[in-house]
Structure 1
Amino acid sequence: MSRLYDWGTSVVLEQVDAPAPPHNGDLVIELEAAAVTRLDLGLMSGALASKPDLPFTPGTAGVGTVTAGEPELVGQRVLVRGAGVGLERPGTWAERTTVPRSAVRVVPQDTDAALAATCYSPMVTGWAAADPVGRIKADERVLVTGPAGAVGSMCVQMAARAGGRVIALVRSEKEAAAVPAAAAEVLVGRNSENMERLGAYGGVDAVLDTVGGDTVPALLPVIKPGGRVVLIGYVAGRTLTIDLPALLTADVSLLPMNMVRRRVPDTVFRNLLTELSEGTLRLNTTSFAFTDLNDALGALTGGGTAGTIAVTM
């Protein structure tokens, strides 16, 4: 099990007693793999508004088998996430953990553990960005920023699947190599030549922005009047400063993504996971041994790994 003893420090791996028998509808999960995410980093930094008591076991998502609790679920393979797991109550960075029934969804027995543990957030965010929020239609020109990342790569594939002509905007040739093949075009950098290409044919119909920062004001001139921007991430900056007359003149809608409030139907989740398992959709996942958890955290903070990161038990 991993234990965090102070905010802003690494976790310590140690042996502890097995979880107590479940009560009040809880389930005991024997974990196969756990996700390592930026939300976990936020918890470890102590920057989140709500902080659990220390020492604490982080880990906001994982996959494993139910070994005790609701009889109908015992023996079932499940995805664990939500319901405060890894934020308010002990998380998935452990060989075994106890979670509420509301934190699990059954997953197929043959799904790769690391993929199943890490896919939920990028997978359903990409789906929501292209479908219920972005409303991507056939033949629309769709610009995706940060398309080499986990969420961005799913946005590329989902927008293309909706019939959009996807243009991927990256910062470097290295990132360009990691963009899914579903992108119709890959542009490196926001130079004048690429801005002209984006502005061709009247501009782009929609932007799926996973990076934030100054992206919207910089791209506003190449978005069609009546176009829309789905605001998904903010790795390039948490503050959006925009000239209101320019935004009103452009008549562009800003659509914030909030996956906390959005309910993802079980059928959508199952269908997307099946597509990932079969290779129809692709998500790069890098796995580390659980004993190398701090190396996995280093890979996440270093930014050199495209896609998701997992530890396997």
Structure 2
Amino acid sequence: MKAMRIHAFGDAPCLDEVEAPRPAPGRTIVEMHAATVGHIDRTVWEGRFLHHPPMPYIPGVEAAGVVRSSGRFAIGERVWLRGCGLGIRSDGTWSELIGAPDEAIGRLPDAVSMALGSAFFSPCTSAWVALHEVARVQVGERVLVTGATGAVGSVTVQLALAMGLRVHAVVRDAAQAARLPVGADAVLAEHMATSDTDLAVDALIDTVGGALLPAMLRSVAPGGRAVLVGYTAGQAVSLDLPELLQRDVVLLPLNMLRREAAGRAAVPQLLERLSDGRLCLEVTRFPLHEAAAALAWITQRGHRGRAVLAPSA
């Protein structure tokens, strides 16, 4: 079978012929129909993650497909895959056939496409856990969301609106503002960076990190919470500690590896919302052999949604 493999950190993925996974107790073999390319895959690929599989390895922490062999799932059943070290401690999902622990697999409703089934887990559960488990937002509170048209940010905005929160969505320009759902108040990032604001929100959900984070923190009311979700705009930031102490804002990092159980618990209702259209997530498809292009695409400023590989696209 064919799989994309990494032979050295930072090297372009290679389409290799590899041995197919073999049936084993407690493991399911899935024919991959879609596999997501995300920032965690880039971090592992660059050698900056705390863990990585032995070289050469098959990347990919998420996928969707059809069961080909299993002691738990029916043959032909549609499923999604995520967790149990896939693409982090062991070979991942960028492969025509995936061998995975049964615990990494969930059933995928017919109404959810394979591409969406592959892409939904990370942004949807991250947004859900950030709001409910980490920020612990309450009905009527005000929330500021950065990267509001990105994958995690757009889902966060949708979920926050559905909860009855007042949502301030940080966007780069008028074109991005026009893509926001009804009910979200657009805030230009440039204005946030150059002007003092009086938003005084109860919670900040920061999905991008980088140099704008200090300015975003100034928009949080004293005693408010700031959930740090992502770092697409920069991995390092400088904070004025005396100012932060005076503002009395709690910084809360979101670690979805540690909070995966909470994310999985939310999956049924997230899939239900995706099935009936109450929740939307954009995907861009790439052929499996163009994994390098997908890794580059997710770093482009202003890209929308998630990148998904398919055996043929």
Which letter does structure 1 place at the counterpart of 2:299? Answer: T
- Percent identity of the aligned residues? 37
Cα offset, 1:285, TM superposition:
1.0
Question: Is 1:249 the equivalent of 2:241?
Answer: no
Is contact 1:29–1:96 with CA below 8 Å preserved after alignment? yes
Question: Is 1:227 the equivalent of 2:228?
Answer: no
Partner of 2:15: 13
Which letter does structure 1 place at the counterpart of 2:110? Answer: Q
Which deviations, in whole Å up to 9, do the C-alpha atoms of 1:43-65 show, x marking residues without a partner? 22223333322222111110012
- How many Å separate the matches in 1 of 2:85 and 2:264? 20
Cα offset, 1:85, TM superposition:
1.1
- Name the TM-score, length of structure 2 as normaliser: 0.89
Which deviations, in whole Å up to 9, do the C-alpha atoms of 1:104-136 show, x marking residues without a partner? 111213310101101101001111122122222
Which deviations, in whole Å up to 9, do the C-alpha atoms of 1:121-157 show, x marking residues without a partner? 1001111122122222233221111111101111111
Question: Is 1:145 the equivalent of 2:146?
Answer: yes
- How many Å separate the matches in 2 of 1:44 and 1:266? 25
Question: Is 1:93 the equivalent of 2:91?
Answer: no
Partner of 1:199: 198
Partner of 1:2: 4
- How many Å separate the matches in 2 of 1:168 and 1:272? 21
Which letter does structure 1 place at the counterpart of 2:215? Answer: A
Is contact 2:128–2:159 with CA below 8 Å preserved after alignment? yes
- How many Å separate the matches in 2 of 1:265 and 1:243? 33
Spell out the pairing of 1:113-262 with structure 2 (5 A cutoff): 113-178=114-179, 180-191=180-191, 195=195, 198-199=197-198, 203-262=200-259
Cα offset, 1:192, TM superposition:
7.0
Please state whether the residue corresponding to 2:218 is helix, strand or coil. helix
Is contact 2:232–2:299 with CA below 8 Å preserved after alignment? no
Which deviations, in whole Å up to 9, do the C-alpha atoms of 1:19-43 show, x marking residues without a partner? 22x2242111111110011111122
- Name the TM-score, length of structure 1 as normaliser: 0.89
Which deviations, in whole Å up to 9, do the C-alpha atoms of 1:67-107 show, x marking residues without a partner? 11215443322111111111222211111021111211112
- Cα 1:286–1:249 change in 2 (3 A) is same
Structure 1: gaps (5+ residues): none
- Cα 1:311–1:223 change in 2 (3 A) is same
Partner of 1:285: 283
Is contact 1:209–1:215 with CA below 8 Å preserved after alignment? no
Is contact 2:157–2:184 with CA below 8 Å preserved after alignment? no
- How many Å separate the matches in 1 of 2:265 and 2:89? 28
- Cα 1:96–1:72 change in 2 (3 A) is closer
- Cα 1:192–1:32 change in 2 (3 A) is closer
Please state whether the residue corresponding to 1:186 is helix, strand or coil. strand
- How many Å separate the matches in 2 of 1:291 and 1:183? 40
| Deviation larger for 51-60 or 236-245 | 236-245
Which letter does structure 1 place at the counterpart of 2:15? Answer: L
Please state whether the residue corresponding to 2:262 is helix, strand or coil. coil
Please state whether the residue corresponding to 2:29 is helix, strand or coil. strand
Cα offset, 1:272, TM superposition:
0.6
Which letter does structure 2 place at the counterpart of 1:218? Answer: A
Question: Is 1:310 the equivalent of 2:308?
Answer: yes
Which deviations, in whole Å up to 9, do the C-alpha atoms of 1:170-229 show, x marking residues without a partner? 223343344x31452112234279845x405xx222211112234443234332222221
- Cα 1:33–1:88 change in 2 (3 A) is same
- How many Å separate the matches in 1 of 2:34 and 2:273? 20
Structure 2: gaps (5+ residues): none
Partner of 1:64: 65
| Deviation larger for 118-127 or 274-283 | 274-283
Which letter does structure 2 place at the counterpart of 1:163? Answer: G
- How many Å separate the matches in 1 of 2:54 and 2:206? 35
Partner of 2:292: 294
- The count of residues paired between Structure 1 and Structure 2 equals 308
Which letter does structure 1 place at the counterpart of 2:117? Answer: A
Cα offset, 1:164, TM superposition:
1.1
Cα offset, 1:283, TM superposition:
0.8
Is contact 1:166–1:182 with CA below 8 Å preserved after alignment? no
